[in-house]
């Protein structure tokens, strides 16, 4: 196959690859007589090639390597050693490619243009001085050859679908030879019909290492330029540009070479196709320092771009910028890490969609050993500012660099801070996201040492549009550094964010914030680091958007993991608070908060330690419908050595709405191994056209309540569920109207190692309650309706009288009840006006009983606090008989406002349940003849009862 391909290439006058390498420079001769200098190495051959791309698909030009310098000869007694010979320079490599690609189909439509600068030759070694004399002088290593490629291509009958241009600078020779630079430029002109792609890869040369004592050379500079224009269906462009690394330094008072910067430009145009462009820029690493030398500084990178990108299709543009990491030091000072800043601004009115990603990484701090000093991670800042008529996606990610490691005593360095800012504007969909990450702290080794702390994050985002707008910002604290061989772990950084998102829309608007605390550093044989706290707070007032949602999330950092007897660290707490005021008429508003306490990981415990607590609060006030959701989960332990006290959880959800209101709050904390984790949950919904509140608590000590309040006949219910070793669950519903009428219901139950639901509902003029048990949970319920609109099933109970209200109450314990008495208090409140005095009455309508777990029940009825009726029951049979369609007359009621309260207290000690439905009102007044017959009947009965016994015999 290879022979066939070669013959085809020869026959067609087209070669697969043309590679030219310059001749290497001859090495310098070493001194042969005492004290003689070494000869200089010769330079490598320099190459400059101008070629038509049609002659071959692959063109490679490599400069010749420089020759090594010769060694100086040793001196005789009293004679200096011979000087070292300098290294020869590497040859430069220049490649220029132009024209129209034209090649047989069998070879595939890909073009490669590659230039490599020759490496510089190493300097020779100086000769040793004779007795009483000096050594020979040092020499410089040869410079690395520069590399450059320039390619200008235009279409022809066989267009290149893929073009790769690569330039690599030569490495400086030992003896601190200068690094070779690298530069590449590619222009694609007028490509059409076929999807095209082009890649630039530019890597500058590394600075030469110090041969003996001395500084390392700096890295070489790198630059690239990529431009393309097409009328075809698509274009993909990518450039990778890496600055040269510094060379190694040697000896006290010296340092490694500095890393070099990298630069690039890009422009792209497509009349209709999609554009996908990618820029990658890396700063050179600082050179290491040996023998007490300091490390070199990493290159600080800064990219500010306004790319010339134009198309009617979609645009996806990514920029990634990396600061150079600091140079290592053995016995000296580590170098300084290079900061990174990437900023992109793009405004476009043609593209059908714009997606932009800006990524910035700060360089890592320098590692140190043998008593050297580490350096901190550098900052990473990302900024994106995008606008357009089409949907716009702006994404910015800033990463702090990792702190330098300390290998033999001392402290790891702190991680760098991350910064992120995103702004987006458009007429269609707008999506803006900013995420910032603190760098991880540097590790440490050895007892008495400690890992570095994590870096912090700062983020802000904005979005403005006419339709759908989503804006998010998040921060994450860096993890603490690891501790090895007895060292302690570093602490995770806290993460805090507050009111860092803004937006506007006439359609839907979503604003979200998140914070995650850094995890503590692990430890072998020491103390693990503690996790960082996290908080997210967002308050917003919205007057335009028809739909608005705000959300906050927070996660406390986990403790570090301890091994080899290391102690566990503490974990971070979390707080998430959302508050929303929506004033637009008919708005759909939602507030959400989620908080999770950090976990305590494996490790021996130093004493009293508790996992991170969680607090979530969501509040919404809306001129339309409003929903609030809060979720809090306390941290737990996965520690197998000894249980840890779990973190408490607090969740509050509050909704006020002119329309329907909905609130849900959930709190979870505690495991079977602990007994003091506290769960507090409250959910409150206040709606004009309906309300539903739900609360759920799960833990060892639970206090959960849900409260709903509404107006008139609309749906209005509350439900509280939970599980715990001890605590209280409460549900309450209240409904009111303009005429002073009010209906209320509440259910309160203790929990004692069981799962339970308490449910209430209330309305005025709405549907009558339904008598039924919960199909899944142990449950208690109370439902109340004043002036119900559906009461046909009452029959003649209040014929010709006044039906004031209907209610239903009950308690059920299912067969899986674990034991222990269940106590519940159920109430129903009825407030209504009487235009004239009347006789209050209480009618038993229906009952519902299951099994025989009934222990006791106490029923009472009062009006304005004055007791009208009370009775206790000790068996299911007794209570079932009493409630068998009985009518109780409660006494006279004056005209005016009535305030009736029905209370039932249940105790159940075994599976079973009882429920009843009832009605309250004014009984019909009997006719005069009926009153007379009643009185006469009573007199006759009394006469028979009190007649002397002798008369009866």
Q: What is the mean pLDDT of the chain?
A: 89
Is 261 contained in some domain?
Answer: no
Range in 95-109, 291-305, 557-571, 599-613 with the lowest mean pLDDT: 95-109
Neighbours of 670 (CB within 10 A): 26
Q: Among the listed ranges 416-420, 491-495, 801-805, which one has the minimum average pLDDT value? A: 801-805
The three-class DSSP label of residue 362 is: coil
Using the structure block, give the residue that is written with the tokens 């967002």: 538
- CA pair distance 366, 294, nearest whole angstrom: 10
**Contact 500/511 with Cβ under 8 angstroms?**
no
Q: Which residues pair with 652 in a beta bridge?
A: 617, 682
Partners of 17 in the beta sheet? 58
Question: How confident is residue 155, by pLDDT bands cut at 50, 70 and 90?
Answer: low
% pLDDT > 70, the chain = 89
580 close to 565: Cβ distance less than 8 angstroms: no
- Which residue is listed with tokens 């890597």? 203
Whole-number Å distance between alpha carbons of 648 and 635: 8
Greater confidence (667 vs 189) lies with 667
Tokens found for residue 726: 């001890």
Cα–Cα distance list, 408 to 251, 448, 524 (Å)? 19, 10, 15
Which residues touch 101 (CB under 8 Å, ≥6 apart)? 53, 54, 57, 109, 111, 153, 156, 158, 159, 160
Are residues 721 and 777 in contact, defined by beta-carbon separation less than 8 angstroms?
Answer: yes
37 pLDDT higher than 90: yes
Would you say residue 831 lies in a domain?
yes
Cβ neighbors of 509 (< 8 A, separation 6 or more) are 469, 471, 503, 542, 545, 547, 548, 549
Closest of 283, 292, 28 to residue 141, by C-alpha: 28
Mean pLDDT of all residues in 547-562:
95
Within a domain: 926: yes
pLDDT band at 735, cuts 50/70/90?
very high
Query: How much is the pLDDT for 670?
Result: 76
Is residue 635 included in any domain, yes or no?
no
What confidence score (pLDDT) does residue 305 get? 86
pLDDT band at 940; cut points 50, 70, 90: very low
| Residue 455 within any structural domain of the chain | no
Q: Write down the residue that tokens 């969609």 correspond to.
A: 353
pTM of this prediction? Answer: 0.90
Amino acid 641: pLDDT:
55
Distance, CA of 261 to CA of 338 (rounded, Å): 10
Domain residue limits at 849: 738-935
In a domain, 295, yes or no: no
Q: Compute how many other C-beta atoms are within 10 angstroms of the C-beta atom of residue 128.
A: 16
The pLDDT value given to residue 99? 84
Of 278, 196, 296, 216, residue with least CA distance to 241: 278
Answer whether residue 292 is part of any domain: no
The answer to whether residue 751 sits within a structural domain is yes
Determine the pLDDT at residue 927: 44
Which of 258, 314, 315, 321 shows the shortest CA–CA distance to 285?
258
How far is Cα 653 from Cα 630, in angstroms, rounded to an integer?
A: 5
For the ranges 95-109, 227-241, 685-699, the maximum mean pLDDT occurs at 685-699
Tens of pLDDT, residue by residue over 14-29, are: 567 789 999 999 999 9
Q: pLDDT digits over 579-589, tens only?
A: 999 999 999 99
CB of 248 within 8 A of CB of 172?
Answer: no
- Residue 950, pLDDT > 70, answer no
Q: Which two tokens stand for residue 406?
A: 């300390």
Instruction: List Cα–Cα distances, 902 to 714, 783, 861, 914, in angstroms.
Output: 22, 11, 5, 16
For residue 944, the model assigns a pLDDT of 37
SS3 assignment for 532-548: CCEEEEEEEEECCCCEE
More confident residue, 849 or 478: 478
Average pLDDT, stretch 856-864?
Answer: 94
Which helix (H) or strand (E) segment is 939 a member of?
Answer: helix 928-945
C-alpha 203/C-alpha 221 separation (Å) is 9
pLDDT digits (tens, 9 = 90+) for 249-271: 999 999 999 999 999 999 888 87
What is the structure's pLDDT at 848? 87
Q: Can you tell me whether residue 928 is helix, strand or coil?
A: helix
Residue 791 confidence (pLDDT): 53
How many domains in the chain?
1
Give the Cα separation of 714 and 709 in Å (integer): 10
Q: How far, in Å, CA of 873 to CA of 517, rounded?
A: 56
Share of the chain above pLDDT 90, in %: 68
Q: 256 is written with which tokens? A: 């490694």
Distance CA 249, CA 347 (A): 46
């Amino acid at each position: 196959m290879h022979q066939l391909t070669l013959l085809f290439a020869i026959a067609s006058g087209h070669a697969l690859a043309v590679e030219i390498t310059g001749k290497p420079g001859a090495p310098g001769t070493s001194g042969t007589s005492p004290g003689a200098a070494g000869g200089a190495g010769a330079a490598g051959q320099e190459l400059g090639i101008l070629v038509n791309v049609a002659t071959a698909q692959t063109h490679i030009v490599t400069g010749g390597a420089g020759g090594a310098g010769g060694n100086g000869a040793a001196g005789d007694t009293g004679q200096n050693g011979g000087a070292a010979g300098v290294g020869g320079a590497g040859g430069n490599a220049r490649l220029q490619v132009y024209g129209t690609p034209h090649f047989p189909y069998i070879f595939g439509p890909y073009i490669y243009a590659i230039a490599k600068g020759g490496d510089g030759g190493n300097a020779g070694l100086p000769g040793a001085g004779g007795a009483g004399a000096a050594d020979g002088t040092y020499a410089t290593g040869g410079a690395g050859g520069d590399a450059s490629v320039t390619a200008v291509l235009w279409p022809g009958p066989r267009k290149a679908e893929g073009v790769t241009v690569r330039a690599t600078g030569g490495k400086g020779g030992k003896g601190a030879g200068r690094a070779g630079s690298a530069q590449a430029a590619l222009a694609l002109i007028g490509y059409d019909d076929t999807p095209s792609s082009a890649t630039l890869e530019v890597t500058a040369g590394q600075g030469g290492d110090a041969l003996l004592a001395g500084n390392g050379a700096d890295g070489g500079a790198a630059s690239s330029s990529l431009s393309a224009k097409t009328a075809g269906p698509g274009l993909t462009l990518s450039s990778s540009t890496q600055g040269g690394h510094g060379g190694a330094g040697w000896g006290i008072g010296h340092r490694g070479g500095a890393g070099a910067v990298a630069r690039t430009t890009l422009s792209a145009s497509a009349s209709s196709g999609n554009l996908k462009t990618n820029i990658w820029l890396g700063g050179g690493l600082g050179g290491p320092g040996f023998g007490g030398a300091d490390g070199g500084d990493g290159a600080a990178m800064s990219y500010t771009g306004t790319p010339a990108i134009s198309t009617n299709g979609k645009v996806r543009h990514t920029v990634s910028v990396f600061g150079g990491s600091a140079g290592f030091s053995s016995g000296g000072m580590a170098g300084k890490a290079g900061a990174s800043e990437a900023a992109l601004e793009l405004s476009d009115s043609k593209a059908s969609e714009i997606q932009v990603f800006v990524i910035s990484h700060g360089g890592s701090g320098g590692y140190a050993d043998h008593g050297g000093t580490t350096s901190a991670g550098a900052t990473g800042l990302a900024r994106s500012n995008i606008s357009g008529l089409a949907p716009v996606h702006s994404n910015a990610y800033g990463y702090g660099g990792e702190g330098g490691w300390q290998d033999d005593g001392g402290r790891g360095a702190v991680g760098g801070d991350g910064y992120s800012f995103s702004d987006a504007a458009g007429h269609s969909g707008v999506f803006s996201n900013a995420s910032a990450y603190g760098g991880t702290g540097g590790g440490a080794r050895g007892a008495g040492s400690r890992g570095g702390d994590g870096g912090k994050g700062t983020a802000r985002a904005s979005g403005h549009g006419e339709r759908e707008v989503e804006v998010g910002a998040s921060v994450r604290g860096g993890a603490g550094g690891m501790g090895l061989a007895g060292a302690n772990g570093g602490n995770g950084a806290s993460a805090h964010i507050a009111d860092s998102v803004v937006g506007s829309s006439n359609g839907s608007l979503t604003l979200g914030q998140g914070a995650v605390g850094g995890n503590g550093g692990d430890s072998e044989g020491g103390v693990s680091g503690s996790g960082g706290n996290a908080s997210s707070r967002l308050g917003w007032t919205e007057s335009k958007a028809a739909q608005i949602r705000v959300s906050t999330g927070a996660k406390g950092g986990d403790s570090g993991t301890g091994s080899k007897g290391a102690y566990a660290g503490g974990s971070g707490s979390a707080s998430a608070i959302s508050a929303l005021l929506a004033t637009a008429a008919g708005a759909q508003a939602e507030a959400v908060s989620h908080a999770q306490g950090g976990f305590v990981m494996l490790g021996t415990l130093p004493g009293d330690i508790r996992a991170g607590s969680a607090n979530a609060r969501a509040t919404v006030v809306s001129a339309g419908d409003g929903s609030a959701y809060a979720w809090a989960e306390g941290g737990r332990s996965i520690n197998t050595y000894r249980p840890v006290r779990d973190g408490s959880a607090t969740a509050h959800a509050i909704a006020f709405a002119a329309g329907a209101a909905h609130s849900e709050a959930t709190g979870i904390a505690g495991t079977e191994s602990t007994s003091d984790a506290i769960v507090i949950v409250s959910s409150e919904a206040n709606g004009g056209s309906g309300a539903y509140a739900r609360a759920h608590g799960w833990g060892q000590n639970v206090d959960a309540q849900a409260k709903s309040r509404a107006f008139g006949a609309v749906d209005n219910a509350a439900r509280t569920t939970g599980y715990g070793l001890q605590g209280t669950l409460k549900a309450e519903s209240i409904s009111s109207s303009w005429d002073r009428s009010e209906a209320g219901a509440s259910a309160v139950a203790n929990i004692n190692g069981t799962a339970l639901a308490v449910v209430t509902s209330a309305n005025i003029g709405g549907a009558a309650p339904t008598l039924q048990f919960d199909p899944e949970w142990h449950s208690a319920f109370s439902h109340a309706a004043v002036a119900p609109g559906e009461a046909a099933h009452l029959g003649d109970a209040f014929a010709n009288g006044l039906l004031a209200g209907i209610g239903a109450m009950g308690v059920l314990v299912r067969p899986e009840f674990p034991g222990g008495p269940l106590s519940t208090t159920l109430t129903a409140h009825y407030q209504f006006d009487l235009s004239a005095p009347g006789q209050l009455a209480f009618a038993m309508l229906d009952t519902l009983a299951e099994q025989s777990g009934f222990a006791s029940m106490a029923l009472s009825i009062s009006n304005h606090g004055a007791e009208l009726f009370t009775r206790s029951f000790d068996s299911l049979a007794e209570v079932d008989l009493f409630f068998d369609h009985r009518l109780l007359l409660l006494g006279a009621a004056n005209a005016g406002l009535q305030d009736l309260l029905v209370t039932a207290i249940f105790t159940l000690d075994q599976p079973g349940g009882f429920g009843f439905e009832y009605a309250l009102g004014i009984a019909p007044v009997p006719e005069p003849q009926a009153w007379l017959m009643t009185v006469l009947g009573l007199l006759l009965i009394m006469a028979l009862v009190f007649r002397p016994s002798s008369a009866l015999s």
